[in-house]
Amino acid sequence: MILEHSDMMATVLAHEIKNPVALAMAYVGLLRHASEPTEVINYCDRIQQSLGDISDLVQDLLFAVRNKPEPCNVNIADILAEMLDEYRAAFCGSPDIVFALSADIGLVCHTYEQHLRLVFSNLLKNAVEAMDEVGYITVYATMHGEYLHVKIRNSFRAVVPKPHGNGMGLGICHWLLMQIGGQLQIENSTEECIAIVSVPVVFSQDKK
């Protein structure tokens, strides 16, 4: 997509990359003074995670800037079910993580499919990372008038939740949704984090 909001994307880029870079630099400093092998492995894993976040972010940015998608009919329930099935397979050995989907029948909107896939992927990734391998992730998809609402609810269970703040990649999610006339709302508490995505049923270039 042609970069129509360069000032916003510059802000997103600075914020999203600054955090993992700062984390990697902090762990490098700790690694210099690590004496135990377990400490070294732990810090190396965290540095690798931060660098992986940067790599994923760059790929997302390249997609957002370079691609010129065409609107198409998108079955939201099918996309969400597919993504949740992938997470269930990835966490099949962890019975303490539960994924659930509640979607209205016939949830189809005319929009940019890859934009929504990227947004949902980022939000689900954030939800999983916030749980510390214990909790529930429930996705609700409903139609309200001319808008489709997708709520991703992450409920913590019997653990102290990790700081989730705004999460990795949310700046990109906001920008992508803005391109299709949608919006993202985040609600945080000590027991759960809820991400609410709203997109028009029919995307119009004039309303963008």
Select the CATH number that applies to the domain covering 72-207 from these four: 3.40.630.10, 3.10.20.30, 3.30.70.1380, 3.30.565.10: 3.30.565.10
Residue 17: Cβ within 10 Å count: 15
Q: What is the pLDDT of residue 183?
A: 93
Q: What is the pLDDT of residue 16?
A: 67
For residue 93, with 0-12 CB atoms within 10 Å meaning exposed, 13-18 middle and 19 or more buried, which class applies? exposed
Q: How far apart are CA 121 and CA 182, in angstroms?
A: 16
The residues with which 149 forms a beta bridge, in sequence order, are: 142, 198
Q: What is the pLDDT of residue 67?
A: 66
Mean pLDDT, residues 174-189: 88
Q: Tell me the two tokens of residue 54.
A: 């940067």
Question: Please, where are the H alpha helices in 67-112?
Answer: 76-90
Q: Is the pLDDT of residue 173 over 80?
A: yes
Q: What is the pLDDT of residue 92?
A: 72
Of 61, 66, 69, 16, give the one whose Cα is nearest residue 180.
69
Q: Is the pLDDT of residue 196 over 70?
A: yes
Write out pLDDT tens, residues 145-157.
Answer: 899 999 999 875 4
What percent of the chain lies above the pLDDT cut of 70?
Answer: 77
Name residues whose C-beta falls within 8 Å of residue 71's C-beta, 6 or more positions apart in sequence.
Answer: 110, 111, 112, 203
pTM: 0.72
Hey, what's the torsion of the CAs at 165, 144, 100, 192, to 10 degrees?
A: 30
Mean pLDDT, residues 19-34: 82
**Between 9 and 50, whose confidence is greater?**
50
Domain boundaries defined on the chain: 6-66, 72-207
Q: Is the pLDDT of residue 132 over 80?
A: no
Q: How far apart are CA 154 and CA 137, in angstroms?
A: 5
- Give 130's pLDDT tier (boundaries 50, 70, 90): confident
| Distance between first and last Cα of the chain | 13
Write out pLDDT tens, residues 46-100.
Answer: 888 888 877 877 777 677 667 667 888 999 999 999 999 988 887 776 667 788 9
Q: Is the pLDDT of residue 133 over 50?
A: yes
Q: What is the DSSP letter of 161?
A: P
Q: What is the pLDDT of residue 1?
A: 41
Burial 109-136 (b: 16+ CB within 10 A, else e): bebbbebbbbbbbbbbbbbbbbbeeebb
